[in-house]
Amino acid sequence: MTVRPVRWMMLFLLLLLGGYLLSGVNQIRPGERAVVRRFGRVLDEKPEPGLWLGLPWGMDQVDRIPVDLVRPVTVGYRLAEDDGGLATPPGQLLTGDHNLINVQVVLNYRIRSEEVEQYVVQADRADDLVARAAETVMAEWVAGRTVDDVLINGKTTLPPWLVRRTQERLEAYRLGVQIQDASVAHLLPPSEVKDAFDEVNRAQTEIRTRIYQAEQEAERLRRGAESEKFSLEQQTIAYIREQSLMAHAEADTFENRLRQYQRLRRENPNILSGIWWDEMGRLLGQMKQNGRIDLLDNHLGRDGLDITVFPPLPRKR
């Protein structure tokens, strides 16, 4: 009767020993890196995803760290704490021109797989260290700018500055984290002066709108002036070309008439008188058509007919 209890006891001990030995088997999931501390000392080996066999619990402590996981940290102003009556709520910073501003940012970081053992050692205070470093950098950035610059450009210029400078400060802590990105969640003046700031912002917006409209009008007028200038230049070029062609045509006509006169003069010495009477006939015809020739009786005198004097142009009614 005493043998059976001993056997059950031995079987129980064997099962207990087997379970204890199996505690050294760990499954590392995808996206994780493991840090093994054997009797408190961190091993150089960093198990990757898969099954890893080590020493039982109490000898080995295995920390599985998801290196692909992005961890957010909120830094700065919190509305609930502002309502609590604190003299200076967290995230209420002083600008370079001595104005208060409430700033809240969100930083996202991940663990560097090659420095995972550094993170494991300080994992319990990693978020606090990231937050404190970011607060310092944020206060430095705000203090170096005016309140207008902070309010207008803060959401675009602060995040890249915050990522770069916070990472630089964290290197000294050997935390093993990498700041991925940052965003501004809250950027407003304190509630006591918010209405005044809103008025200023509206005025500045109206000023920028008026400036934009003036620039648009100036651009429209400039384009109109350039178009008119181009049109006048083209008209001038066309007029010059037309006058040049007419001058060349008249010159060619004159040269042809001159050659014709020289040729005919050799044959008829009185050709010049014939040309003169032809021109006078053409001129008289034009003047008669315009109403500038009357009866010849008015031009009879003691010396005969005088046709070199013509009546003046009729007056316009």
The pLDDT tens digits for 218-227 are: 999 999 999 9
Asked whether the beta carbons of 167 and 178 are under 8 A apart, the reply is yes
The residue among 215 and 48 whose pLDDT is bigger is 215
Find all residues with CB under 8 Å of 128, minimum gap 6, and list them: none
Question: Is residue 121 predicted with pLDDT exceeding 90?
Answer: no
- Give the burial class of 111: count Cβ atoms within 10 A of its Cβ; 0-12 exposed, 13-18 middle, 19 or more buried: buried
The residue among 78 and 37 whose pLDDT is bigger is 78
Structure token pair of residue 61: 């402590």
Q: Residue 1: which pLDDT band, with cuts at 50, 70 and 90?
A: very low
Measured CA to CA in angstroms, residue 121 lies from 30, 40, 42, 63 at distances of 22, 11, 9, 10
User: 314: which DSSP letter?
Assistant: P
Calpha distance 182→138 (Å, rounded): 11
Structure token pair of residue 219: 């651009």
The residue among 103 and 277 whose pLDDT is bigger is 103
Per-domain boundaries in the chain: 19-66, 71-189, 192-267
Q: Residue 255: which pLDDT band, with cuts at 50, 70 and 90?
A: confident
Asked whether the beta carbons of 272 and 265 are under 8 A apart, the reply is yes
The residue among 87 and 116 whose pLDDT is bigger is 116
How many residues in the chain?
A: 317
Instruction: Give pTM, 2 decimals.
Output: 0.53
Task: Please give the pLDDT value at position 117.
Answer: 80
CA-closest candidate to residue 112, choices 173, 40, 50, 51: 173
Calpha distance 173→132 (Å, rounded): 12
Task: Please give the pLDDT value at position 40.
Answer: 60
Calpha distance 66→34 (Å, rounded): 9
Q: Which CATH superfamily is domain 71-189 in?
A: Band 7 domain (3.30.479.30)
Q: Residue 232: which pLDDT band, with cuts at 50, 70 and 90?
A: very high
Structure token pair of residue 31: 């996206």
Give the helix ranges, DSSP H, for 45-146: 79-83, 116-121, 126-143
Taking only the tens place, the pLDDT of each residue in 139-195 is 999 999 998 888 888 899 999 999 999 999 999 888 889 999 999 998 888 776 667
Measured CA to CA in angstroms, residue 164 lies from 40, 69, 118, 139, 184 at distances of 34, 20, 20, 15, 15
What single-letter amino acid sits at 317?
R
Taking only the tens place, the pLDDT of each residue in 7-19 is 777 777 776 665 6
Q: Residue 73: which pLDDT band, with cuts at 50, 70 and 90?
A: very high
Question: Is residue 314 predicted with pLDDT exceeding 60?
Answer: no
